[in-house]
Amino acid sequence: MSTGHAGVDTRGDSSAGARAYAHQFDSAEHQHGTAQLGMWVFIAQEILFFGGLFLAYTVYRFMYPEAFAQASRHLDIVLGGFNTVVLIGSSLTMAIAVHGAQLGKRWMQVIFLLLTIFLGCVFLGVKAIEYGHKFHEHLVPGPNFRFDGDAGHAQIFFSLYFVMTGLHALHMVIGIAILGVLVWQAARGAYGRAYYSPVELTGLYWHFVDIIWIFLFPLLYLIGRH
Amino acid sequence: MSVEAHSSDHIAPIKLYLAVFAALMALTATTIWVAFIDLGELNALAAVAIAVVKATLVILFFMHVKYSSKLTWLVVASGFLFLTILLALTMADVVSRGWLGTPGG
């Protein structure tokens, strides 16, 4: 290895003639495809990471269906449904931001990345309000837990509720931080038609977090409603 | 290495994204509506089935898997395959545990 990565210019567009990829790749497409594949391997791992919690949920719901149904009725369908719309909306704005990057439209990227961040923050704000309600209603597992019914097993439901939605919210906080960096970079013109891998990969992550919520909403909020 | 660099990537039209979003909204409304109808055991199945359809739409279109390489398909499928193994084998144990009774009891 000599003086750095000669000819490496990950900024793409600006450098006609210069290589727009690192030296271990055959082409820019090769580099982009490798980055995509790496992200998908990470997401496959994330599926199993959340999978353990979905398994715990399935086992306990099978064992205590009545307690789960009673406990689920204490969740707020209006707030949960609103958040579902907000989060799927943020996936739409994210997809459009990636579209903007693919076409090399700088301000389209910036505006839709900012919209995605905004919707992500709305989701987290509503989640914080919901958590607040649960604290006031003594529905947080622990010594102050109060529940009219099968309290012991309802605590299992609420433990799963807080861990699953909490881990999901943590993923969103990380996603919003990454989106913040992307906005900054995109505004500087870092991404264009020749190089937009970071925007696309962040999009994959964001959509994955959306998918987790698509399962969490019916499984946590919508049982025992009829 | 400029404009053509990612010619292999499919660029989906925004109309498609809007159509997928509309479908996801319709399915969200459906899942809430179905939850208030008494289908007995089928309620849980309906909720999961609708969520699977929604997730599939997100994966195919928002995440561009429909236009991705076979290798990407393989990685996505392997993630769900191992999730299925995790759920199916554990539940096979949990569900059948009481079937044979307690030895000596």
Q: What are the boundaries of each domain within chain A?
A: 41-221
- Position A17 scores a pLDDT of 43
Hey, are the CB atoms on A44 and B79 less than 8 Å from each other? yes
Hey, are the CB atoms on A193 and B6 less than 8 Å from each other? yes
Question: What distance in Å separates the CA atoms of residue A88 and residue A120, rounded to the nearest whole number?
Answer: 10
Interval A59-93: pLDDT, tens: 999 999 999 999 999 999 999 999 999 999 999 99
Hey, are the CB atoms on B1 and A62 less than 8 Å from each other? no
Q: Which of A1-5, A33-37, B87-91 has the lowest mean pLDDT?
A: A1-5
Domain A41-221 is in which class? mainly alpha
Closest chain A residue to B89, measured at CA: A55
- Position B4 scores a pLDDT of 41
B9, B17, B39 member nearest A95 (Cβ): B17
For chain A, the three-class secondary structure string (H helix, E strand, C coil) is: CCCCCCCCCCCCCCCCCCCCCCCCCCCHHHHHHHHHHHHHHHHHHHHHHHHHHHHHHHHHHHHCHHHHHHHHCCCCHHHHHHHHHHHHHHHHHHHHHHHHHHCCCHHHHHHHHHHHHHHHHHHHHHHHHHHHHHHHCCCCCCCCCCCCCCHHHHHHHHHHHHHHHHHHHHHHHHHHHHHHHHHHHHHCCCCECCECHHHHHHHHHHHHHHHHHHHHHHHHHCCCCC
Rg (C-alpha) for chain B, rounded Å, is 21
Provide the mean pLDDT of chain A. 92
pLDDT of A11 over the 90 cut: no
Quote the percentage of chain B above a pLDDT of 70.
90
What residues 50-89 of chain B have any CB closer than 8 A to a CB of chain A?
A: 50-51, 54-55, 58-59, 61-64, 68-69, 71-72, 75-76, 78-80, 82-83, 86-87
Angle of helix B70-96 relative to helix A28-63, nearest 10 degrees?
10
Terminal alpha carbon distance of chain A = 67
Q: Does A168 touch chain B (CB under 8 A)?
A: no
Q: Does B15 touch chain A (CB under 8 A)?
A: no
